[in-house]
Structure 1
Amino acid sequence: MSKTPKYFIVEAGALPEIFLKVAEAKRMLETGEVDTVHLATKRAGISRSAFYKYKDAVRPFNDMLQGRIVTFQILLKDEPGVLSSVLNIFARSGGNILTINQAIPANGCAAVTIGAETSGLEVSMEELLSRALSVEGVVRCEILAG
């Protein structure tokens, strides 16, 4: 009997170390830093059996979003140029914006929802969020759906 898998998004710091090491070994293999599982597991400091046990179950969040349409929800201060600055961050990072929906500002802030295709991203999803959050006037920036 096959069970339908359940997925959780968990902050990396809360994961057991083995999952992080498996993800690192997979990264080394995918980037060509190493060419064998033996070398990847040796460098990551795990056994091959641990790697094979978890390799299909551990995947960085960014990998799950790569090449997909992702919906971002951003809360912006109602000030000229803030949305434009955020859109420039997406453009410079390689995100292809498909939709923009902005609510009427209330209490000095406006909620903006951006739908973007992420296959052309030249930075990680975390870096894109960090760059958007660094824009003066951005109160919050998070992934709503992906």
Structure 2
Amino acid sequence: MASRKSFYLVREDMLTDAMEKTLEAKELLHSGKVKKINEAVHKVGLSRSAFYKYKDGIFPFHTMVKEKIITLSIILVDRSGSLSQLLGKVAETGANVLTINQTIPLQGRAHMTLSIDTAPMALDLDELMELLEGLEAVEKVELVGSGS
């Protein structure tokens, strides 16, 4: 089983310049001051590659505290009932499934992204990911985003 990413709380003055600019670009996009990523990165003086490197891994603390919608990347074994079992486990936690995107299975594996509203859950995010990784049909679970 692949190791899961750990999360850390880091003081702002410890962030690299590229990380700070990524946060600025994300805020410009979120506020509607710019419409395209190209505009946002140009305005803050950041390369697109640096933006894409950090965009899904850095968030202002206040958004992580109040955000209740997460997106998980999951590698699922292609076998009858796998998706049903996964969704059943998510439902047991009280989370609400918002979107499901799944690739056509190749070589016995399907990649899927699952966006869920975690507000009704009693578990924390680490517990949810551990629960899903414990399913026989699940090979890997990663947090890829958080947002409303």
- Shorter-chain TM band: 0.5 to 0.7
Q: 2:130 aligns to what?
A: 130
- Structure 2: runs of 5 or more not aligned: 11-60
Larger RCO (CA under 8 A, 6+ residues apart): 2
Secondary structure of 2:126's aligned partner: helix
Counterpart residue type for residue 75 of structure 1 = I
Q: 1:130 to 1:68 in 2, by over 3 A?
A: same
Instruction: Tell me, in whole angstroms, the C-alpha distance in 1 between the residues paired with 2:90 and 2:67.
Output: 15
Q: In the alignment, does 2:64 pair up with 1:70?
A: no
Superposed CA deviations along residues 30-69 of structure 1, whole A, max 9, x for unmatched, are xxxxxxxxxxxxxxxxxxxxxxxxxxxxx6xxx8265421
Corresponding residue pairs, total: 93
TM-score (norm 2): 0.55
> Is structure 2 residue 105 aligned with structure 1 residue 105?
yes
Between the aligned partners of 1:10 and 1:126, the Cα distance in structure 2 is 9
Gaps of 5+ in 1: 1-8, 16-58
Counterpart for residue 51 of structure 1: none
Q: What CA RMSD, in Å, does the superposition of the two structures yield over aligned residues? A: 2.7
Return the alpha-carbon distance in structure 1 between the equivalents of residues 83 and 91 of structure 2.
12
Residues 139 and 67 (structure 1), Cα distance of their counterparts in 2 relative to 1, 3 Å cut: same
Identical aligned residues as a percent = 32
**Structure 1 outlier segments of 4+, above 4 Å:** 9-12
Q: Which residue of 1 aligns with 2:82?
A: 82
Cα offsets for 1:58-100 (capped at 9, x unmatched):
x6xxx82654211111000101111111111111111110111
Q: Secondary structure at the match of 1:104?
A: coil
Which range is displaced more, 117-126 or 63-72? 63-72
